[in-house]
Amino acid sequence: MPDHLSEIIEELAIANRILGHEGVLDAFGHVSVRHPHDPGRYFLSRSRSPLLVEPSDILEYTLDSEPLKPPTLRQYSERVIHGEIYKARRDVMAVCHHHAPAVMPFAVSGTPIVPVFHFGGTFGAAETVFWDQHDEFGDTNLLVVKPEEGRSLARALGQQSVVLMRRHGATVAGSGLRDVVARSIYLCQNAEYQLRASILGTPMPLYPGEIKPAGEANLAPGPIGRAWEYWYMRLKASDGLPPRRSVKAARRAPARARPRPGGKKKRR
């Protein structure tokens, strides 16, 4: 596998752990990234708690959510969420599905999350949209495991970046891995502030004209890089990094050329 794909896979492992460490993912939930050169494929971990994901856990899937190589370990049952969103939205390069405690009161009550602080603008809408699995599929175990269920969820997401799943959780789409990590974390922070503010009175959301510029400003490369470094160092301080080439993957630095087979390394 080319070195740059190895780095993407390692960064996906780090993204899993960051989202676990920041309280977005717990024992369940998952995050994926689209293959950078083949839009018909994506990368997703085997079925494992996100805080424990390592690069060796990452599998490559078609958009039908079938693994390219026969897996020897259990896969996530809800992987169709990722594949069907990638099918429906060519602009989406990363997807996160979670059941964060900050978001669940809104998913349970049917109350939309609205952007109430400047980082709330990163989900890019005046309020979140909803999807209720029961409306189309009746009584289920609430897991999104059938392609038609994944397609229905993707339709509800539409052109938005967040869809709340009634009595279940949320799914977040992004233009890249770091983008979807930021959107997921800021969505949870926004939900916490909105709920706390509602205790004091009626929360005042961003003005409609503030949402887009606030979102674009906070998802620009500079702020995203600064936030990623912060979350990365928090994970590192907790001794939570995956056990392989973690520092290199945390920086967007060009990969160093590897010595040719049989060649000698330069001495410093």
Provide the annotated active-site residues. Answer: 78
Q: Please say whether the beta carbons of 175 and 91 come within 8 A.
A: yes
How many angstroms separate the CA atoms of 248 and 239, rounded? 16
The tokens of 10 are what? 């390692």
Q: Is the dihedral of CA 136, 96, 25, 213 positive or negative?
A: negative
- CA 119-195-31 angle, 5° bins: 55
Extract long-range pairs of 134-140: CB within 8 Å, 24+ residues apart. Answer: 134/166
Name the residue with tokens 């000698």: 264
